[in-house]
Structure 1
Amino acid sequence: MPNRTARTPAPAGLDDPPDIATMRSTAARILDFDAKPVSTEELETLRLAMRGQIELMIPTVEALAAGFPKGDIPRECALAGAREASMRLRLGVGGSRPVRMSVSMKLARSVMALCDHFENLGGR
């Protein structure tokens, strides 16, 4: 069987692409060092939003990656990013504000990575 070099079309269900700009904006609110501090309530709102974004993006990125041959570097990187994001979904909320902020920063980095993988795999 010859090696496949072109990716297959995006799977069904991606007709309504995720709002990457909003996801990046949400994550940037946590990761931007020049931003004004976030309140405890806003931090919780952002954390919940990012969890939802990750839950949306994991299967989306995995579906796009499935269109690439095994061993393809963008595919393998995207799948690794999806696995890492999945692990981060298992992080607890945290008791103290610094721990909650740390968890939120990890979620934000996963949101950004999944957005990058989505775009690198040809998602629109």
Structure 2
Amino acid sequence: MNAKAPPLNTATMRALAHRLLQPDAAPDVLPPAADELEDLIRRLRGHLSLLAPEVEEQALTHSTDGVLRYCALACVGEAHGKLRVAPLPGLSGAAAYARRLARTLDSLCEHYEKLGGADICPACDRQIMREEPSVLTEYLSPSGATSRSTRIHAHCANTVRRH
């Protein structure tokens, strides 16, 4: 990742992916129309094109966890494969392709965050955007076994997380 570039906004990417993945859980939600589906596919492909190289670079240069690195690189390979193919003809082919892209994008976002590409507030589980006020704090894991320095939203600093 370029040191001057801000972290990618995985929250926005996930929101787009979940628009296509939610109908699987809610059968009463109508699928997108053909023109909207074409736009969604274009946006998903754009996000994958931006995110895959970032995840790959992080996995190759920053990760010391072999399993995390292997899984991230496998997901990057999956993304490249999805970007090389075109949807099958027809609305159902495009919808299936869009859902595959969405699942891959959601997975890449997860790897990006785990590899340290985005700071996730441990109090509210939302991404800390560059322009948001945040503080550096010691975060104790839920098990209490480990602690680490992490950024947290300024407005979350005095909240208690309940599971």
Structures share fold, TM-score greater than 0.5: yes
Mind listing any 5+ residue stretches in structure 1 that lack a counterpart?
A: 1-10
- Kindly tell me: are residues 51 and 14 of structure 1, through their superposed partners in 2, closer, same or farther at Cα, counting changes over 3 Å? farther
1:90 Cα shift? 1.3
Q: 2:17 aligns with which of 27, 30, 33?
A: 27
With structure 2 as the length reference, what TM-score do the two structures score?
Answer: 0.65
2:43 aligned to which of 30, 45, 49 = 49
Match in the other structure for 1:16: 6
Q: Which of 111, 118, 133 is equivalent to 1:117?
A: 111
- C-alpha separation between the residues in 1 aligned to 2:3 and 2:99? 29
TM-score, normalised via structure 1 length: 0.84
Query: For the residues of structure 2 that align with 1:14 and 1:119, how far apart are their CA atoms?
Result: 18
Q: Larger strand proportion, structure 1 or 2?
A: 2
- Counterpart in 2 of 1:104? 98
Amino acid at match of 1:48: R
> Quick one: distance in 2 between partners of 1:52 and 1:61?
15
Structure 2 unmatched ranges of 5 or more: 119-163
How do 1:85-100 residues align onto structure 2 when only pairs under 5 Å count?
85-100=79-94
Q: How far apart, in 1, do the equivalents of 2:76 and 2:22 lie?
A: 23
The 3-state SS of whatever aligns with 2:71 is helix
Residue 58 (structure 2) pairs with residue 68 (structure 1): no
Query: Distance between the aligned counterparts of 1:19 and 1:88, measured in 2?
Result: 21
Q: Which of structure 1's runs of 4+ aligned residues deviate more than 3 A?
A: 11-15
What displacement does 1:116 show? 0.5
Greater Rg over alpha carbons, structure: 2
CA distance in structure 2 between the partners assigned to 1:83 and 1:50 by the alignment: 16
Larger helix fraction of residues: 1
SS in 2 for 1:28: helix
The answer to whether the Cα contact below 8 Å between 1:27 and 1:112 also exists between their aligned partners in 2 is yes
1:7 alignment partner in structure 2: none
Closer/same/farther in 2, CA of residues 83 and 94 from structure 1, 3 Å limit: same
